[in-house]
Amino acid sequence: LATGFVKGKGNLSDGLSRLLTEVSQGYFQPNVGGETIPVAQGELSDLAGDEPLFKNLFTWFIQSGGVYKLAFGPKAFIVVSDPVVVRHLLKENYDNYDKGVLAEILEPIMGKGLIPADLETWKPRRRAIVPAFHKAYLAAMISMFADCTQRSIDKMTALTESGQEASIDMEQEFLNIGLDIIGLGVFNYDFGSISTESPVIKAVYGVLKEAEHRSTFYIPYWNLPGAAVLVPRQRRFRADLAVINDCLDGLIAQAKRTRQADDAEALQQRDYSKVTDPSLLRFLVDMRGADPTDKQLRDDLMTMLIAGHETTAAVLTWTLFALVQHPAALEKALAEVDTVVGDARPALEHIQQLPYIAAILAESLRLYPQPPILIRRALGDDVLPAPLNGDQNGYPIGKGADLFISVWNVHRSPHLWRDPDSFRPERFSETNKNEGFEGRWAGYRPSEQRSSLYPNEVSSDFAFLPFGGGARKCVGDQFAFTEATVALAMLLRRFHFSLAGRPEDVGMATGATIHTANGLKMRIRRRHAPADPSLPASEAPKLQQQPVAV
């Protein structure tokens, strides 16, 4: 690997390689400890090739096991693909780890917002923010989820006027829905991105693109003296950031100015029917007014804007991509939506009765985890437990070790899942105790034995962790699942979707999330509601009296 790096194979030129070698001295930590960890045989040029990083990490996982090391010169990072080791890192010994490289990449964008924050900053902010995602808040959000989806439906209805077929990039549509929802839900700001394009929207997409560029570009050249001024994309990035920061500062100032005792009282009671502005910002200002500095509040808002927008849009994109290629699953989904929701606006009671939609979203998150890799750095020495498959001994690692938790690998591990690469939502109703692992891994529990509708890291003992796990688990998981369920149910009810090209044409690219390389180009036409009397019986979706069991 070191040789490949210095020689600059593949699409790295010699000159660039030399530059990268020098600059990388400030990036990954020195190769600390972990001498007993298997070293993957690869080339750094593989990492810079056409394939997304996580695909190469998978190949090495199959060759080298659940814990392996990629070393280049004096630097290294450890790749973890095993649920027992992941459980150790995220839950059992979480306070020995911070976000390392990720915090360095994100600092200029999110400062010390909740995702990149060091543990000391993170603790009080987490305590302040988690209560904001109360069940009553979600209930207050659900009609807004439907309103924002309806904007897209109106646009698509206009496109398919008089019943003709139309073409649309559904990935962009999901991004628009996601942006409008996160703007309204987090700071009561209507981006209106489904119908307009404003400088703020352009700036959000610009900053997202840069966050993505930084998380896939392995060397932080933007830290070099003068890069912010000399490199055009860095100048653009600074300008975009200033636009969003101004917007957020304005919203914070406004929320403070318009603070009302009545609203604060109603929020205290979680009575959202009496609150004029149910956004998270309102909650944080009214309930936690004295706690944070404005900069901290802005960092947290920016974090949630970025964390909650692209992720949910990516889930919807890959869900639709998978569904149109699996007619049996699509038919079951349609039957469930038609029976439970029909033409109504989805409400919280409906969500609980859509177990097949829940399983579809979970299966999409299993195959396309957002983000595919979680990043950690050890704050002190530690011993990683032995992975389920491989060495029987644990691995001592040193303070400063950089770790990549490959959720992609865990979710597609042939040691944990039957047919790991196939899209099969029904798998979440199966049990896997995997007796061979002698009690070290509890396996996963089927739907009827789970407390929540959606499978998660608890019911799978860290084999399925779409929202991470342990202390730093996603705070927006229920928000995201509910949003995705509402959007999917409403769109499936109203339109037929089919791919405009071949599945391979969609392509895959990665940044903070996995997205398509070329957009999700689809053909749409209006779907006849099952009650439509003009519809020939054979074409009518079959109605079932009960929600479809998973």
Binding site for ligand HEM (CB under 6 A): 114-115, 126, 186, 303-304, 307-308, 311-312, 315, 370, 374, 466-468, 472, 474-476, 479-480
Contacts of 318 (CB under 8 A, 6+ apart): 364, 367, 368, 514
Q: Cα dist. 148→151, 294, 345, 515 in Å?
A: 5, 29, 12, 21
With respect to ligand HEM, which residue has the nearer C-beta, 46 or 461? 461
Count CB-CB contacts under 10 A for residue 293.
8
With respect to ligand HEM, which residue has the nearer C-beta, 468 or 547? 468
Pick left, alpha or beta for residue 394 (phi over 0 → left; psi -120 to 50 → alpha; otherwise beta): beta
Least spacing, CB of residue 126 vs ligand HEM, in Å: 5
Contact 274, 266 (CB under 8 A): yes
With respect to ligand HEM, which residue has the nearer C-beta, 311 or 317? 311
What is the maximal distance between C-alpha atoms in the chain? Answer: 72
Least spacing, CB of residue 82 vs ligand HEM, in Å: 16
d(CA 335, CA 354): 10
With respect to ligand HEM, which residue has the nearer C-beta, 4 or 183? 183
Is 504 exposed, middle or buried (CB count within 10 Å of its CB: 0-12, 13-18, 19+)? exposed
Least spacing, CB of residue 357 vs ligand HEM, in Å: 14
With respect to ligand HEM, which residue has the nearer C-beta, 52 or 308? 308
Rg (CA), the chain: 24
Least spacing, CB of residue 60 vs ligand HEM, in Å: 21
Contact 469, 462 (CB under 8 A): yes
Least spacing, CB of residue 111 vs ligand HEM, in Å: 13
What does 217-250 look like in DSSP terms, one character per residue?
SSS-GGGSTTHHHHSHHHHHHHHHHHHHHHHHHH
Residue for token pair 């912010």: 228
Contact 370, 88 (CB under 8 A): no
Least spacing, CB of residue 456 vs ligand HEM, in Å: 11
The candidate with the shortest Cα–Cα distance to 187, out of 248, 119, 129, 100, is 248
Least spacing, CB of residue 175 vs ligand HEM, in Å: 13
d(CA 518, CA 510): 12
The candidate with the shortest Cα–Cα distance to 155, out of 170, 145, 143, 144, is 170
With respect to ligand HEM, which residue has the nearer C-beta, 307 or 442? 307
The candidate with the shortest Cα–Cα distance to 58, out of 48, 49, 68, is 68
> Where do the H-state alpha helices sit in 325-432?
327-340, 348-352, 355-367, 407-411
With respect to ligand HEM, which residue has the nearer C-beta, 144 or 315? 315
With respect to ligand HEM, which residue has the nearer C-beta, 43 or 402? 402
Count CB-CB contacts under 10 A for residue 197.
12
Q: Tell me the residue number closest to ligand HEM, measured at CB.
A: 476
Least spacing, CB of residue 497 vs ligand HEM, in Å: 20
With respect to ligand HEM, which residue has the nearer C-beta, 71 or 463? 463
Least spacing, CB of residue 528 vs ligand HEM, in Å: 31
With respect to ligand HEM, which residue has the nearer C-beta, 1 or 480? 480
Least spacing, CB of residue 231 vs ligand HEM, in Å: 28
Least spacing, CB of residue 314 vs ligand HEM, in Å: 7
With respect to ligand HEM, which residue has the nearer C-beta, 339 or 516? 516
d(CA 344, CA 350): 10
Sign of dihedral through CA atoms 40, 42, 43, 48? negative
